[in-house]
Structure 1
């Protein structure tokens, strides 16, 4: 009797919970505030109106809603008008890749205390619209690839935005002078300069946020050196200095890094026309992640690697560096967890390669013409979990993968299958997978329409008498 009462009570409670939960389930057909012909609601937080060939902001009849983001990217919008956002209550607006050339006053009237993020990248603005100065809580503004000259960054408007601005991205290919009005962003954490024909930045470029900025990116410029102005930045943890092709080895100026010697953890110097590891790396002992990708290093000497032989360095990216072999000097980097050697000219992996890298977890050889892997290679990669060998010239699964006891994934996939799957060459893999059932082998067989994994696990025991 008592059990029956308890069971009945439990069923009643469960039924009540179901009715309550059903009542609050979000229904796009009823709750999405903008007509579905223009947009759809991804979830209860984002309205997606991207790529709809819109020439104006869709009208919403709702006066209140709980959505946070409206995505209007990749449309044909040419201007923002006063009534466009009257009933759109969001904190993030994405308008990149449109044709916006003007923003009327009072466009964001009902969002002035709510809007936190505004993305206007790749539009046609030629000046900083005064309306932006009314956004008292704006924290992130992206103006990259708008042809706004230095004088277009109005001092008063920048001052009005300065109290809350945390992230600011700007720049275009014709920018010829650094806008000094950026000094008003005294709470800035992240700054990105994209493009510009300036050969140098003024010494006072970062005045106003010397102690607040932690993330700095300077990309695709005509600078001839790392700006000396960097020496005033004391808390930079991430510095991206990429695609500045006029810099070269001589342009990596040691004094410029003086302020970040004890703070920088992530450093990328990609496609800066370098031919060697910069000497400044000797003093940047706090760096944990380093990328020199897309520089023509060709040869990496012991002396070069000694510049980065810090116990703190765990990630190294040497992708597309024109290397024709695995640098033996890399064995000095015993703290490495991740190494990317993709898109080089490496043909073989020999027994003596990659020695002493006992802690390595991820290793990438994607898009190399690797055709031979010694059965004795990878002997020191005790900890390796992921090996990427996509789109190489290998035609057999290398038996050397047996030398990595903790390997969980090896990837041989590519646009065209090239791995030969037959009994002669796959019995060993079948036996290895029996002893390491966590290992996943990705890629397709060239000789039969089946995955390498399925051939070894299924077809070998059926047809090969292992």
Structure 2
């Protein structure tokens, strides 16, 4: 097998991993939803979501090595009391606080010195500027801000340089300044901008040139800016948009290996794909109205690709 083939396999593996990456799947051990005498020593992951809790069970104090805690969808929880109880746990790496009507996190979150993954999804009243100041010194790598009705990112997001994976799905992140700020996160690896009602991407998307996996699916995009040629992205998910032809900019992105363009309105492959040399080597065009003539053309153009798909469902 050639070195190039190994590279493609590596990229596909990373793409699959990134697509499934979430706060729920790290640290592989059983997830418990109850604390019982016979399982206390085994609990590393604890899911207490949707249990109508007003406070954490007293028995949580007996857990010695808690790594992941999910307390989502318990709207009557007293978070101040919760974090006082959690203060003993400098072992927590994953904390899921979705759908809790959070505005401001308790200051005691600073004591969770090993916290790497924080989910604050579906808290539309959240004061991000205040909370970013609180968590700025924590080693946050995954930050989930999904569904928070965000249109503007606070300037102090750049004070959390440890962020690698940032989920901004189901918001309305559109303006140029947002992308300039995202470009100031030096370790940003995966960025979710799906379901953001995007009609277009501003040229400033090129500022986010450090991102390797970009999710812009489920929007209303018809074109992509030529400035994306400056990006070092490996994989782009752009399905469920309004594209009518394969974007030309993909031929100028020197690191791009794989693109998902499923469920668009693509019916033509631009002639630039006949003349240019490019790194793209995997293309999914499922559920697009591509004519048989264009399919034959594409199969000839992309015959060296490790993945080429036109499935219709």
Q: TM-score, structure 1 length as denominator?
A: 0.54
Question: CA contact under 8 A between 1:366 and 1:388: conserved in structure 2?
Answer: yes
- Summarize the Cα distance change of 1:241–1:228 in structure 2 as closer, same or farther, 3 Å threshold: same
Q: Which residue is 2:199 aligned to? A: 298
For 1:202 and 1:112, how far apart are their aligned partners in 2?
28
Which of 110, 113, 130 aligns to 1:228? It is 130
CA contact (8 A) 1:220 1:244 kept: yes
Partner of 2:305: 407
Residues 206 and 230 in structure 1, CA contact (< 8 A), matched pair in contact too:
no
Alpha-carbon shift at residue 229 of structure 1 (Å)? 2.7
Q: State the aligned residue count.
A: 279
Q: CA deviation at 1:226?
A: 2.1
**Equivalent in the alignment of 2:261:** 365
Does the C-alpha gap of structure 1 residues 137 and 187 become closer, same or farther in structure 2, counting only changes over 3 Å?
closer
Encode CA deviations 1:36-66: one digit per residue, 9 max, x unaligned: xxxxxxxxxxxxxxxxxxxxxxxxxxxxxxx
Residue 388 of structure 1: how far off its partner (Å):
1.0
CA contact under 8 A between 1:386 and 1:408: conserved in structure 2? yes
**Residue of structure 2 equivalent to 1:394:** 290
- Uncovered stretches (5+) of structure 2, i.e. residues with no partner: 1-28
Q: State which structure, 1 or 2, has the greater radius of gyration over its C-alpha atoms.
A: 1
Q: How far did 1:239 drift?
A: 1.7
Structure with more relative contact order (C-alpha pairs < 8 Å, separation 6 or more): 2
**What does 1:104-115 align with in structure 2 at a 5 Å threshold?**
108-115=36-43
Q: 1:344 Cα deviation (Å)?
A: 0.9
1:168-211 deviation digits (Å, cap 9, x = unpaired): xxxxxxxxxxx55444433321222101334x3147262212x4
Pair 118,223 (structure 1): closer, same or farther in 2 beyond 3 Å: same
Report matched runs for 1:247-396 at 5 Å.
247-249=150-152, 252-258=153-159, 260-261=160-161, 263-277=162-176, 278=178, 279-302=180-203, 304-309=204-209, 312-333=210-231, 335-349=232-246, 352-377=248-273, 380=276, 382-396=278-292
1:304-334: CA deviations, max 9, x gaps? 123213xx3222111123111233222221x
Report the CA distance shift for 1:110/1:281 in structure 2 as closer, same or farther (over 3 A): closer
The 5 A counterparts of 1:21-100 are: 92=30, 94-95=32-33
Equivalent position of 2:110 in the other structure: 207
Q: In structure 2, the residue corresponding to 1:339 is in which secondary structure?
A: strand
Conservation of the 8 A alpha-carbon contact between 1:383 and 1:407: no
Relative distance call for 1:406 and 1:216 in structure 2 (3 A) is farther
Q: Which runs of 5+ in 1 are unaligned?
A: 1-90, 96-102, 159-178, 416-466
Contact 1:298 1:323 in 2 (8 A): yes
Change (3 A) 1:92 1:284: closer
Alignment of 1:433-444 (within 5 A): none
Distance 2:106 2:85 in 1: 14
CA distance in 1: counterparts of 2:61 and 2:76, whole angstroms: 16
**Cα distance in 1, alignment partners of residues 114 and 262 from structure 2:** 38
Q: Normalising by structure 2, report the TM-score.
A: 0.77
Q: Does the 8 Å contact 2:72/2:100 carry over to 1?
A: no
CA RMSD of aligned residues (A): 2.8
- The corresponding residue for 1:132 is 60
